[in-house]
Amino acid sequence: MVVCLIEAELPAMGLPASRVAKTLPTRAPWHTLPAAPCIGPHMSPSHPSLTKRAVMGLLVAAVILGTVEGVLRWMWGPAPNPVQVYGALGAHDGFLDIVDGEVHRRYGEQPLPAFPQVHEGPRVGVLGGSSIHEGTPGLPPEEELPGLLANRLGVDVVNLGAPGLDSYDLLEITEALETVDFDALVVYTGHNDLGNAVFESRYGTLPSALYAYAYGGLSHLQLFSQLSRLLVPRTGTDRRTRPFMKPKADEIQPLDPLRRKITIRAFGRNLERIAWITQRRQQPLVLVVPVSDLTSWPQSAPCEPGHCPPDYFDKARAITKADPAAAIDILRHLKDQDPACVRAPTATETLVRTVAQQFPHVTLVDPFDALPKDPTFDIPNRALFIDPVHFSPEGHAALATVLEAPVLRALQAQADR
């Protein structure tokens, strides 16, 4: 560079460049050195291009956001759902009140008696919707699933179920049980999420398709979830605070595909949060895949001749002996396409299995194959249900039989810690 500058200035001084070059202490003749760019008054040092600077900026931002996300996940676990809902509790701020060491349920049309916050000896909590409590008319609590489990296991089993509870509600109840003694929890859920999304306008706050797609792509991030929960208000209705309030006919509308997808994804997020919370507490969790009456007819809907529910049932019945799996697929398809949204779709059942596989402290119970079989199809017997989802007394007893051994193993694992 020194030689280059001198060469550029010598003609202006009236001196030949060759004479001055001989006086410079160089190891080789300057004119044999590799050419190098000269910096003159018309040139400036090179700078990174705008594209490179933009890429570097994005990389730095990604590292910062990734660090923040990692810290949030370490502190708070899997991301909660960005869309918040409430359980229509009315004047109460939460699902449980703890007064003088007694835990009072603040949900359900006829809440069960309070139970002690502290308990000596094994105790199990069973969470769910009306499949667990009050879904079978006239059936006393001791003959519902939790009561039967208590009798068979010889331990205290608390019924934490109530009609209408879905994964959002069960997550909040699980969080509220932080200071309550339970050696294990059993969760049976999946039927109510789609129905509540319809009847309570659960995702009516999604203001645009843009936000909906952003939700779909970013909802697994803690940072996005926390910001959304700050900016988007909670949503819901007070339907469950008004006993026997029935939805109007024009309110029963099938979910559009986007909101249906968001509802099912939200179910998985809530279940994952429940698993993470119980893992942090070192509390065994038993997840039960929801079952339903697959012989129940879907709600009436327009259909083309040859493609209506009776046609599909006839086809399933015709092939069930030769190909029972194919017949079950047909029945599952009818369930998943039911506009009534009262039975857990196949995607929801799959999410229960997926979450159970992610956490070593979770025991999965899949009762579909273990329950007594239907006389026509290779599915749970229709006699186990009084309607598409609610168990008959025989259904409660059959599910208690299936759950007895897994719950006992969970209690034993907790005792061995």
Domain range list for the chain: 1-45, 96-299+338-415
Mean pLDDT, all residues of the chain: 81
Query: Tokens at residue 160, please?
Result: 């934490």
pTM of the model: 0.75
pLDDT of 37 strictly over 90: no
CA distances from 82 to 202, 223, 256, 415 (A): 12, 10, 19, 37
**By C-alpha distance, which of 163, 200, 173, 176 is closest to 83?**
200
Share of the chain above pLDDT 90, in %: 52
CA distances from 267 to 28, 136, 224, 345 (A): 77, 25, 18, 11
CATH class label, 96-299+338-415: alpha beta
- CA dihedral sign, ordered 197, 200, 201, 203: negative
Strand blocks (E) in 177-275: 184-188
Give the three-state DSSP class for 369: coil
Give the pLDDT band of residue 127 (cuts 50, 70, 90): very high
Q: What is the pLDDT of residues 368-402, one digit of tens each?
A: 999 999 999 999 999 999 999 999 999 999 999 99
Mean pLDDT over 23-40 rounds to 49
pLDDT of 11 strictly over 70: no
The pLDDT value recorded for residue 47 is: 60
